Amino acid sequence: MTISKENKKVLLLITIAYLFSVAVRLIWVYQFHGYEPFIFNSQFMINTNDGYGFAEGARDLLAGFHQNGDLSPMETAISQLTYFFAKILPLSLETIIFYMPVALGSLIVVPIILISYSLKRLDVGFIAALLASIAWSYYNRTMAGYYDTDMLNIVLPIFLLWSLVWAINTNHDKFLLITALDILAYRWWYPQSIALESAFFGLILAYALIFDRKNLFNFKLLAIMLFAMLMTSELIRLPIVMALYFIFKNKNLDKYVYYILAAAVVTFFVTGGLDPIVLRLKLYIFKDSVNATQAGLGLHFFTVMQTVREAGHVEFSEFASRISGSVPAFILSVGGYIWLSYRYRVMLLALPLIGLGFLAESGGLRFTIYAVVPLAFGAAFVIAELANKMPSHVTQYATLFIGSFLVLFPNILHVKEYQVPTVFNKEEVVMLDDLKKKTSRGDYVVSWWDYGYPLRYYSDVFTLIDGAKHEGDVNFPVSYILSKPQDAAAKMARLDVEYDAKGIKISEENSKKSEANRTKVSSNIEEMTKASGFKDTNDFLTALESGAKINMAKKTKDIYLYLPYRMLSIYPTITLFSNLDLMSGSRYADPLFLMAQATNEDEHSIYLQNGIAINKASAKVKFGDKELPINRFIKTGYLQNGKLSIETKQLSSMGGVNVIYMASYGQFLILDEATYNSTFIQLFVLENYDKNLFEAVQLSPYAKIYKLKI
């Protein structure tokens, strides 16, 4: 089969754009080549926490087994695809997960150029492919080491956009099947894709009813899209859409198209097509800081979405820069997209992507990635149109080059400056690898949810919370463990782990029972409350903290606490989840925790960041409009032998605040008494652990690991 000259040109442009995207993503690799803190087992480590969850799934698929209840995501598409690559490629799992975003994320150029081919504007598509492939937010989430679903989360919907554009432009039956298969692939990769799929469906419906209602092809397209979008297994949807494709190819059956579309609408709603859309809106748009459980004791818990930066408000300058590289480029892109859509009406199909991208203004920065491609088309269209108006080939090419350079340069500059670190450094991973040798697969490691996935990947243990399991009810006990005194924390750790293990067994048993016969389980904290004979969780917690007799769970699992230095900066966020009245939902007063570095010092005071000052003569700390006496001043530092040295001065007997100067880190901590006595501060900062409750396993400046004795 011979390839036409035009198709050769398309392939050449795709190849150049793809290699450009890959080359830009290798800048980070070049910058940190040979940098040992980012390398483990002779390969760079990844730089996204969630990636370790998927890597765990791939690891267990390669091993051929996992433990029940260990939350290994072996069924996810990304883990399965990684497993496939690991089986066919002569590369280590670590190498594959590091470079997969580079290889797959760069595929974005393919549908972009194919869309432009449909418009007969390859000049626009090539520039758009170069820009979109390295645009600020798209690069951030598809760079080397960013092993997450984002590597295809935009590629697949742009392929879907391509198939819809070609379907509308050509009315060829093959694009009915291609569109359906695009939807199946997108849903397999990213189960939350239903919202964007539905938006595309709505636009096709509007187009058909307003502009082309007599064209039966449009209603065939709508019907096959709906059946591909059903909330059922791919194994059910695939044969349905294949059968529909052959039915629609038979023109003698065209009289049944409207009946098939009606059946598709009914089936879509019956299978719960709108449920996930409503759920996503609740998570990202209608956010509450405290959620109440509806059954049992009606406990209230703090919601995690209030603490996730990617779900927070974004300033316009950052919003614009993340989409187009700079505010001027963004304005050019928006104007260009409007112009492009006026000239090529089919490009209005990209509106759902822009709409999702603009949700970033209220829903969080994670959404900006969706608007990158359509607005890259906008910028490229303006550049190409200006070039076409130039009087000669020389000036045309000069305009294309200069215009492309101006929109690409801010993004390349961002890539050069975006020197994001790996999730953990080598020293931390060596500790976790060593911990794996000390533990069994059924042991638990307690830490904050940010570190759940890496802990499981490197140490092959159970965790209580992670990047997917971090609702308020499961975060509460871990927050409590880290922020309360050691005795109460130790008891809570034992209780929460044993109730978690019990819950796993109940879940296994329930999976074998009918819905009516399944055992109902409340949150662990509610189960603890009831088991101890309390009807008010506040009374249970008071008893736990006072040392009163409560119903302690029998020890069946070994438990370790993983306390990294990096947790210090998020300690105030951690406390939010346990610093509230669970019965009423009302928040308690925030604990005092200030962390700052010194900016200056003279004979009278030490000046810290954020306007904080320590008066040496009066032994007081001033911050904001407050000036409080210093109770204890503690200086810590690591000696040459790696041991922690601690010097303590009692300055006031009248209470006040505690100041800890962590000399080896150059950090000052200003703490109230409750925070000072918290398990995290005592065990990590001061290594002052109750030897009846804990045993030190590994102590380093990067992290401390303790084993629970009770």
Whether 600 and 628 map to the same domain: the answer is yes
- What's the pLDDT score for residue 401? 96
Positive or negative torsion for Cα 317, 318, 320, 325:
positive
- What's the pLDDT score for residue 364? 67
Residue 106 within a domain: yes
Buried b (16+ CB within 10 A) or exposed e, 71-91: bbbbebbbbbbbbebbeeeee
Whether 493 and 382 map to the same domain: the answer is no
CATH number where 493 lies: 3.40.1380.40
- What's the pLDDT score for residue 296? 76
Residue 579 within a domain: no
Whether 333 and 404 map to the same domain: the answer is yes
Whether 370 and 505 map to the same domain: the answer is no
Mean pLDDT, the chain cut into blocks of 10 residues (710 residues total): 86 98 98 96 96 96 87 95 97 97 98 96 97 97 97 98 96 96 97 92 92 92 96 93 95 93 92 68 55 70 69 78 96 97 95 90 79 98 96 94 97 97 96 95 95 96 94 96 98 97 88 76 91 93 91 93 97 96 93 95 92 92 91 95 94 86 96 97 98 97 97
Residue 536 within a domain: yes
Whether 556 and 594 map to the same domain: the answer is no
- What's the pLDDT score for residue 294? 45
- What's the pLDDT score for residue 517? 73
Whether 386 and 448 map to the same domain: the answer is no
The pTM of this model reads 0.91
Q: Which residues contact 183 (CB under 8 A, 6 or more apart)?
A: 160, 193, 197, 225, 228, 229
Buried b (16+ CB within 10 A) or exposed e, 557-589: bbbbbbbbbbbbeebbbbbbbbbbebbebeeee
- What's the pLDDT score for residue 282? 57
Residue 542 within a domain: yes
Q: Which helix (H) or strand (E) holds 418?
A: none
Whether 368 and 327 map to the same domain: the answer is yes
Whether 383 and 472 map to the same domain: the answer is no
pLDDT in tens, 562-589: 999 999 999 999 999 999 999 999 999 9
Which of 358, 383, 417 terminates a domain? The answer is 417
- What's the pLDDT score for residue 514? 74
- What's the pLDDT score for residue 110? 98
Which of 351, 385, 417 terminates a domain? The answer is 417
Residue 571 within a domain: no
CA distance 39 to 426: 6
HSE (CB half, 13 Å, CA atoms) of 651? 23
Helix axes 174-189, 77-88, angle to 10 degrees: 100
Whether 74 and 147 map to the same domain: the answer is yes
CA distance 156 to 373: 12
Q: Which domain holds residue 676?
A: 589-708
CA distance 204 to 211: 10
Whether 365 and 503 map to the same domain: the answer is no
Extended beta strands in 377-461, E state:
444-446
Residue 366 within a domain: yes
Whether 100 and 234 map to the same domain: the answer is yes
- Number of domains present in the structure of the chain: 3
CA distance 10 to 28: 29
Whether 411 and 477 map to the same domain: the answer is no
Residue 547 within a domain: yes
Which of 395, 417, 439 terminates a domain? The answer is 417
Residue 411 within a domain: yes
- What's the pLDDT score for residue 62? 96
Contact by Cβ (8 Å): 463, 452: yes
- What's the pLDDT score for residue 536? 93
- What's the pLDDT score for residue 174? 95
Contact by Cβ (8 Å): 49, 450: yes
DSSP string, 80-145: HHHHHHHHHSSS-HHHHHHHHHHHHHGGGHHHHHHHHHHHT-HHHHHHHHHHHHH-HHHHHTTSTT
